[in-house]
Amino acid sequence: MKNMFCDKNDLKNEDYVESIFVDRLLVFLGFKDKHVIRKESLRQITISRGSKKENYKPDYVLEITRPKLVLDANHPKADLD
């Protein structure tokens, strides 16, 4: 199946999902490099998951004045539950 950024067969693992799909999606959505913090530059952050908070190291944090959106890319066949 093809989306506007790549062919699904191109998404072989999580790194490919990040570099071929998510990075292109963020550019398409208009996020500037200065607003995108990638996992290599991140420490663990505290996020809410339902009613509890936990430490987590996401793949991306999109930030303008404070974290607005946390993204985590997964292997194309990963069980998301």
Q: Tell me the two tokens of residue 23.
A: 């990075």
Q: What is the pTM of this model?
A: 0.64
Across the range 8-15, mean pLDDT stands at: 90
pLDDT tens-digit map of 16-50: 999 999 999 999 988 899 889 888 888 887 878 77
**Percent of the chain's residues with pLDDT above 90:** 22
pLDDT on residue 66: 64
Which residues touch 15 (CB under 8 Å, ≥6 apart)? none
Q: Mean pLDDT score of the chain, rounded to an integer? A: 84
Residue 1: the pLDDT is: 62
Tokens of 25: 């999606």
